[in-house]
Amino acid sequence: MADILGSFEQAVLLAVIRLDERAYGRAILNEVAARLDRDVAAGAVQSTLERLERKGLVRSTLGSGTPIRDGRARRFYAVLAKGRHELNEARTTHDTIWRGFARPLKTRS
């Protein structure tokens, strides 16, 4: 079985898909933080994006900067077909593991 994407990798990939053409570093960071409902380090998102790009799951292109960034370029990300396939695989595995359990799990008395 191929390596299953970690939950943080899934969160980042799904954030890129959700944001679509607006998927650049800061927007992805905020989207992931909002979905996970916790503060997320920029370095964590950055290193995950680098890893996903090395694995061929996303690609990136440079875009223009804005005055609030002092004109510094933005890197926009898009999920590739392989990335979507890996996400589907991760979802299938997740569903398979949970099949047969009621949600939420009952606690033992």
Residues at the site binding other proteins, with contacts judged by CB under 8 A: 24-26, 29-30, 41-44, 46-47, 50, 62, 65-66, 68-70, 72-75
Which of residues 6 and 65 has its CB atom nearest to other proteins in the complex? 65
Rank residues 36 and 44 by Cβ distance to other proteins and give the closer one.
Answer: 44
Assign residue 70 a region (left: φ > 0; alpha: ψ between -120 and 50; beta: otherwise): left
Q: Nearer to other proteins by C-beta: 24 or 90?
A: 24
Which runs of consecutive H residues, i.e. helices, occur in the chain? Answer: 7-19, 25-36, 42-54, 81-98
- Half-sphere exposure at residue 45, Cβ-oriented, CA atoms within 13 angstroms: 24
Minimum Å gap between C-beta 10 and other proteins is 19
